[in-house]
Structure 1
Amino acid sequence: MHEMSITQSVVDTIVTRLGDARVSCVRLEIGRLSGVVPDSVRFCFDVLCTGTSLEGARLDIAEPSGRAHCRDCGEEFGLDDFIVLCPCGSANAEVLAGRELRITSVEVSHV
């Protein structure tokens, strides 16, 4: 499961940047076309935060939908899966959104 190593990188990055500051919330953006399973990340997050400054932190995950632009007809369209096919029938399309995988914000507790 690659979600474990991805989540470990998230935890490590936050701990490296914030040190011992107590984290109360982490917000991630995981696009629906990223190939990362948000529920697996949630499970891994709880396990990997134990004993760190992130222990007990809330994890909020936004899951933006996929969007693409057809190079043949010029239309922009939504994607629900990994098959990038314009409604016009063309596969000549550029994915614009849905592959995101990033930390969008971290809240630090001041208690």
Structure 2
Amino acid sequence: MHELSIATAIIEQADALARADGADAVSAVTVRVGELAGVVPDALSFAFEVARDGTALAAARLVVEQVSAQAYCGPCAEEFAVGMPPFFWCPRCDQPSNDLRSGRELAITGIESLRASA
């Protein structure tokens, strides 16, 4: 389950970013996960819950924003859903596309930090 290594990397990066910002803990991490990124969102959420124990993210929640795979067809200027399994054939003009516009994302897009009371 490679989601565990991804969850561990998310926790390490979020912790480093929060500490660099002067935060003591993280309450939430938001990640964008593309449909074609090869990551199962439910498995990632479970792995995050397991990996966060004993870290500054021990009470943090993971917010997963799923991004659908979209391709673009140059000949007819149509953007279309690729789906799963991926099908890169334009439904409008019946031509193949090699211009994937979204769906491979895997990135932290937000961190909610907590600071200790003075």
Asked if these proteins are the same fold (TM beyond 0.5), I'd say: yes
Structure 2: distance between partners of 1:71 and 1:101: 26
Q: Specify the alignment match of 2:96 in structure 1.
A: 91
Q: Specify the alignment match of 1:3 in structure 2.
A: 3
Q: CA RMSD in A?
A: 1.6
Question: What is the CA deviation profile of residues 62-111 of structure 1, one whole-angstrom value per residue up to 9, with x for unaligned ones?
Answer: 10111111134332112222222211322233100111100000001235
**Paired residues of 2:11 and 2:52 also in contact (CA < 8 A):** yes
**Paired residues of 2:25 and 2:114 also in contact (CA < 8 A):** yes
Identity of aligned residues (%): 37
**Paired residues of 1:86 and 1:93 also in contact (CA < 8 A):** no
Structure 2: distance between partners of 1:76 and 1:93: 12
- Unpaired runs of 5+ residues, structure 2, are none
**Paired residues of 1:33 and 1:99 also in contact (CA < 8 A):** yes
Paired residues, what number?
A: 111
**Paired residues of 1:27 and 1:59 also in contact (CA < 8 A):** yes
TM superposition outliers: structure 1 runs of 4+ over 3 Å: none
- Unpaired runs of 5+ residues, structure 1, are none
Which of 5, 20, 35 is residue 38 of structure 2 equivalent to?
35
**Paired residues of 1:72 and 1:92 also in contact (CA < 8 A):** no
What's the TM-score, normalizing by structure 2? Answer: 0.84
**Paired residues of 1:71 and 1:93 also in contact (CA < 8 A):** no
Task: Report matched runs for 1:1-111 at 5 Å.
Answer: 1-19=1-19, 21-81=24-84, 82-87=86-91, 88-111=93-116
- Partner SS, residue 6 of structure 1: helix
**Paired residues of 1:33 and 1:66 also in contact (CA < 8 A):** yes
**Paired residues of 2:67 and 2:102 also in contact (CA < 8 A):** yes
